[in-house]
Each structure stands twice: as structure tokens, then as C-alpha cells.
Structure 1
């Protein structure tokens, strides 16, 4: 979004991706985010959406954790996760409750939880017409406000409505952002490459084709994703809810199965780290909060955001997950496809540019 803003003439915006030469003369840009369409998934999806192999694609790297709330706010603000504060799928609030960013309404206040201006706000303030098109039920949610405030809302409940409303917004100069969630959903519940996932890939192909065919003069389409995805076999699952060694000393759990945040009893951190390293072995990196921050995963983390991270950060490797029965809904441990960690399959995302 900083680069798109720069192309559209927003003062102070920096073209960090070097899009200016390729988009010279463009005065209206559509950015489509296809949830779950990582670079490593494109060859599989292209068998059912041929247009994906026909369009020139470059690779970008998602933020960390490589999960939807983190990436959507990173996209919307152009800032690293440490700065915007949305540091995981779920996070512990100051009152001890767990915030699920996907189910977030207005507690906490999105403007307090995510304090940075969005690129939509700065573009609107510069006189650029900005529209977001996504599911009608997402209007006004905490995540939508945190990531996309400043953009006029237009509800599009299916791929046809999404493409129609995005193209309508391109009738005038400006920026339109569209979000399509179905590929990610089918990857979670049925697995990458499954029949439902293939059917969702066909829809993605049709959506992109309609946008490409309908682009008006002076317009460009950018297609990207928030993360990739990988299937995890049953033997790759650890359950802290049923393993007393993993559960010892834990007072709260957040994050998601590929990246866990553990909040521990006073004085128990070292014992928890030793226990988790002993059980998980090479299946995960088990780090202190300070080690994770020093490793640069989040960028600089201001003091106000430190407590959102667990005392212990568990980053799964290979095809492993840590489920948390009793701590979170059972469905989270029954998924097929997961993401959030640092593998290339999860963090490498495409950038497709069409004029």
C-alpha cells in the first residue's frame, strides 16, 4: 500500500516495491487479496485457474506470524506487526481475556488496539477516492476498522459481486481494495489440493479473469495474498490440553496452532521452556518473548504491545502444530490446513500486476 499510494500521488508515500515504472500513467488501482493463495500454492491452483499461470508474478514475504489478522493490518498500514500491535490470530488482553481478531467487534477499541493510521486514511486525506469491497458482514468489525479505516465500505458477498463492485469503483480515479476468503477456508477445513479447495481455486480464477477483462483504461490490478498454507498430518499434532507436561505452569494460551503464545505462572518460565523443548524437539523453536523480539520477527515492538506476546513463543517447524483442547474451540484442532509459521510455504506470497 505505500507503493500504491506513491503511484497515486499521496504525499510522503514511498514506492518501496519499485512499482512506479511499471505503473506509469495509471490513475486507478485495484488491489485484490486472495486469502491463502501463497506462491507455493499457485502451481496447484493454476491447474484449476489457468489465468494464474498466464500472469507475471513476483514473490513477496508476509509478516509474522503468517496469519490473516496480522497480514491484513500489515497490508492496510504498511507497517511491521510490532508497530501496529496485531501480533497473532488471538492475543491476551490486559484484563486477561483472549481477543480473537476474526470475531472482534469493539472491545478493545480498534483505534486503541491498533493505533497507527492506515494507508487508506492517508490516501483519503490526500484526496484519493478509496473503496474497500468485502463481505457485508465484515462492515464495522474490529479487524476491518483496524486494517482498513478510511476506505468507503462496499459489501460484496460472493465473487461475482466482489468483481462487479471493484470494477464499479474503478470508474473513477483512485484505489479499490478487495478481499476474497474462500480459498483459505477450504484449505483449512478440507486441505490444500482437496476437491473443495480445487473448486475454490476455480472461483479465484473466474474472479481474476473478470477483473482483468473489465479493467478500464488507466487502471491496474494487483493480486496478492496474506499467507500460504500447508496440510498437517495427524501425527504432527501436539495437544497441550491433554499432555500434563506441556500444560504445567501455563495460565493462558493464545496465537494459533503454528505459533503459540504461552503465558506462564510467576517463576515458571524456565521450567516451561525446558519441558516444551523436551517434548517438541525439532518440531518447534521454543523461545522467550525477548528472544523472539530480538530475532526481528515482529520488527521493533513498543512497550505498549509487549504484554500481548506470551512469556514463551513456540514457532512450529515442518508439518507440526500445537493444538490446545480446553483452551480454544475444538474445531481449531481438527483442521487439515494450517499457516502462521516461518516456512516458505506459509510466508511467500505473490504479487501479480496487470495493466
Structure 2
């Protein structure tokens, strides 16, 4: 069985094009974005285009003048580690190597967290993610580069993997981060400035999309982005992925004795997109068929080889990325999510808003142009 991705419009933008779009605008070249003296990339983590349209009344500044064509498509899997890295390198996950939330380090036979586990899991960001970032490319072309974010992220391994080349500037609130980013762009002509806003994603995970807390976070982001960009500064607002609510009754829990555990050594990925790693010498095709039968109607199940051949992780997949992709790839359908009920840590089962799979709510993100980029 091969998986057919939901079709995207022929001219649809991919998040992998953002880096080149921004650099071309700085160089005055014709492209998706108009030329600008400086550019600001605003990432609203977790804000899908569908959710934004559905709550336009709570984001009047953000949605002003935005049409249905102002959309881009995220990569697979639709998770922050993979998608944000694709935005900031211009490469698909199969190329930059961050192919999921939690993946197997086969040399050490242990799962590693590609978002927050760099230090605890002993991952070297420069080795694990060697692709040049958009900031390194900008600096090589004599453009200043800045990243504005929360202070706690300043020295993290994920920051070193994705933001290297940029000078990190910490600011507390969304309004402060946007204001600092705009000021840096104004003070440093020719600069590339990145501004990260994770509040919507955090509220969605904890409380769900459309919850009072999620709406409040969206309104806070909208207020922050009501600030007018400096003259001749182009601003692109987008996201790494969208989000979908998964109520508890849609959980697929694999408890002790479930046949899907047979031959399985590790289960990584995340609840809506599992990387399943098998024991040595197991008949992988038999395990794939067992998962398909047991998960019928709940997930698409592919071998890792088929997932790569289908192009899910991009047109080109490096040997390192191949080693991190599961022997099975399990993609949740609808608003299902899969959990290992035998694991010691069950905290993830309290998460409401989720992402990682291929639903339109997860794949479609806004592509909003402001300032010198406005059309």
C-alpha cells in the first residue's frame, strides 16, 4: 500500500521556500516577496490557516486583507522540530534530518527528543543537523541576522541546530518580541530578523483549539502584530503547522498484550505520527500487515521504505535521515492519536490540541505579507 497525500493546489507555496523568498527580497530580486530594505519573519507556532479563518473575529489585524490564497503548506511530519527546521533551512525533513519529534539514534539504540532533548540525550546540533540555516546564508551574503525569542531558548540545542548564524535577542511578551524585531530591522538596514511566538501552540496543546485560553492567546498575538512595521521593512507572518483537537475518546491506546507490540523494539514519533522501530531479524512486512489490520480506519500504515519512496519526507532523503525514520510509519486518520499504554509516562495523554499527521488543519498555514511585502 502506498499513501496518497491530500492534494495541494498546483501553485501552492511550501514552507521550504520561505528562506529563499526572504533572501531574494533582501537582494532586490523578483519572487514571491517584494524587495525590502530589511525583512522580518514572524512564526506563530501552531497557528493553522483553517483555525485562523475560523476565528478571524479574534484576529482582525492579522486577517485584514488576507484571502484564501494567502496559504502555505507545511512539511511531513507536521511537527515543530521538522517543520520549523524546514522553514529555517529551506530543506525537507528528509534532507535536514529532523524527521519527527522523537526518533531513534540507532548507534546508541535509544530514542532522542529532537525538540527538547538535545542536551539530555547527548545530541550534537552541528552534527545532527548540518544543513546551513537561512541566517548563516544571510551572514555569508553580508546581511546582519537576528533571532528574537524567549530567553529560555537562547542556548538550547534546538536553537543551535536551527538559529545558528543569528544573534539571539530575548524579549518576554509577544508585543515586546514584535517591537524588538521591528526595531532591529529598522536599525540594521539589510538585516534578516526572526521573531518566534509560541503562545498559540502552547494554549492549543493544553486547552484545545477554540478554547478560551487559545482564543486569548490568538488575541494577544493579534494585538502584538497590530504594530505597524517600519518603513521599507517587509514582514512575513506564517506558522510551522496547524493543529487539531483530539478528545480522549479518540485516543487509540495500545495496552499490554496488543498484537501491535509484537516485534517492536521502540515507538517514537508522536501520537499523530508514530515512528515504529522493530527488533532485528523481524519480518517487517508481517508487522506492517498486522498494524494495518489492527489499525484499520484509524491510521495509514507504511513501511519506512515505502514512506521514503512515496516522498513523504521529501524528494531527497539522506542516509542519516533514513536511519531515523521508523521501520513503520503510522499516520493517524481523522482526529485520532496513538498512545503506548504500557509506558511509564502517560502525561502526553492529557494533551488536547495535536499535530504531526496530514489533515488539512495540520498542513495549511497562513502566508501573510505586511509592510513592504504587502500586495
Give TM-score scaled by structure 1 length.
0.93
Counterpart Cα distance in 1 of 2:61 and 2:159: 29
1:34 and 2:44 correspond: yes
Deviation at 1:337, TM superposition (A): 1.1
Q: Does the CA-based 8 Å contact 1:44-1:193 persist in structure 2?
A: no
Name the CA shift for 1:134/1:325 in 2 (closer, same or farther; >3 Å): farther
Contact 2:62–2:226 (CA under 8 A) maintained in structure 1: no
Cα distance in 1 between the residues matched to 2:256 and 2:66: 47
Local SS of the residue matching 1:307: helix
C-alpha separation in 2, matches of 1:223 and 1:241: 42
| Aligned match of 2:104 | 92
Query: Aligned to 1:65, which of 52, 74, 77?
Result: 77
* 1:41-69 deviation digits (Å, cap 9, x = unpaired): 11233222211321325111101100111
1:251 aligns with 2:265: yes
Pairwise CA RMSD: 1.7
Say which of 161, 172, 196 aligns to 1:179.
196
In the other structure, the counterpart of 1:148 is 163
Structure 2 CA distance for aligned equivalents of residues 30 and 328 of structure 1? 43
1:78-102 deviation digits (Å, cap 9, x = unpaired): 0111010000011111311211122
Match among 291, 294, 301 for residue 286 of structure 1: 301
Q: 1:297 corresponds to which residue?
A: 312
Structure 2 counterpart SS, 1:79:
coil
Task: Name the counterpart of 1:217.
Answer: 231
1:324·1:333 contact (CA, 8 Å) conserved in 2?
A: no
Query: Deviation per CA, 1:131-184, whole angstroms, max 9, x where unpaired?
Result: 000111111212111111101100122212212211221122111101111101
Aligned ranges 1:17-56 → 2 under 5 Å: 18-20=31-33, 23-24=34-35, 26-56=36-66
Identify unmatched segments of 5+ residues in structure 2.
1-18
Q: 1:236 corresponds to which residue?
A: 250
Q: CA deviation at 1:205?
A: 0.6
* TM-score (norm: length of structure 2): 0.88
Distance in 1 (CA, whole Å) between partners of 2:302 and 2:213 is: 37
Q: Could you tell me whether the CA contact under 8 Å between 1:190 and 1:197 is conserved in 2?
A: yes
User: Is 1:9 the counterpart of 2:27 in the alignment?
Assistant: yes
C-alpha distance in structure 2 between counterparts of 1:113 and 1:234, whole Å: 35
- Deviation per CA, 1:303-351: give whole Å up to 9, x if none: 2221101111101111111112344731212211111111111001110
Asked whether the equivalents of residues 241 and 327 of structure 1 are also in contact (C-alpha less than 8 Å), the reply is no
Contact 1:38 1:225 in 2 (8 A): yes
Question: For the residues of structure 2 that align with 1:243 and 1:310, how far apart are their CA atoms?
Answer: 22
d(CA) in 2 for partners of 1:349, 1:53: 13
Instruction: Give the Å deviation of 1:274.
Output: 2.1
Task: Give a deviation string over 1:257-282, Cα, whole Å, max 9, x none.
Answer: 11001111221423322221112102
Partners of 1:55 and 1:352 within 8 A in 2: no
| Distance 1:202-1:310 versus aligned 2 partners, 3 A rule | same
2:325 aligned to 297, 305, 309, which one?
309
CA distance in 2 between counterparts of 1:43 and 1:242 reads 42
Q: Provide, for residues 99-124 of structure 1, a one-character-per-residue CA deviation record: whole Å limited to 9, x for no partner.
A: 11221334211111011111110101
The alignment of Structure 1 onto Structure 2 pairs a total of residues equal to: 344
